[in-house]
Amino acid sequence: MVELAIYLLALLILAMSVLRKRPGPNHQRIPLALWLERCASGLIALYIAFFLFFSVDELLSGDLLGMSHLVPAVLVACIAFLANKLPLEGGFTLIGLSIVLSIYFNLPLQRGVYVLSSAVLIVSLPLFLAGVLFLAAGFVAYHQRDKIDSEIPPKVG
């Protein structure tokens, strides 16, 4: 339940940012930014496919709790959709989400031993890498937009 709240909070933060800024299609013109966003979206798609695999497996075995894996998959899909609108803010949101999930999964430690569990790697690492790719796309688009804007002469007259 806490994990669901973390995903939902990240989605709300990013949604508020998208609604406030009203993104434009300027970053779509830059090929490098577009490919970085596609790679990040591919990582997110693999992440969602992982959740769907467990959901279908549990549902086919007759366990209705498999539906619980669909909720994070849908929320992450919404986060990825919004991150494509604003890659810079989306990258920060995904990186923050992965850090918070890493901390959450490492809280119930046994015998005080800190280990990097496989759950942390499976849940947090793809989100972190996708966040880094979205950040890179956002920075490329931002710097290219400034370069393009500085080359356009001002209108006189």
How far is residue 128's CA from residue 131's CA, in Å, rounded to a whole number?
Answer: 5
Per-residue b/e over 31-57, b at no fewer than 16 CB within 10 Å? eebeebbebbbebbeebbeebeeebee
pLDDT, residue 25, reads 55
Q: Residue 139 contacts by C-beta under 8 Å, 6 or more apart in sequence? A: 88
pLDDT, residue 32, reads 87
Share of the chain above pLDDT 90, in %: 18
Q: Taking residues 98-104, what's their average pLDDT?
A: 85
Q: Would you kindly state where each structural domain of the chain is located, as residue ranges?
A: 2-151
Measured from the Cβ of residue 66, the count of other Cβ atoms closer than 10 Å reads 17
Q: pLDDT tens across 64-89, in order?
A: 777 777 888 888 999 999 888 888 88
pLDDT above 80 (res 41): yes
Average pLDDT, the chain: 80
Q: What is the pTM of this model?
A: 0.79
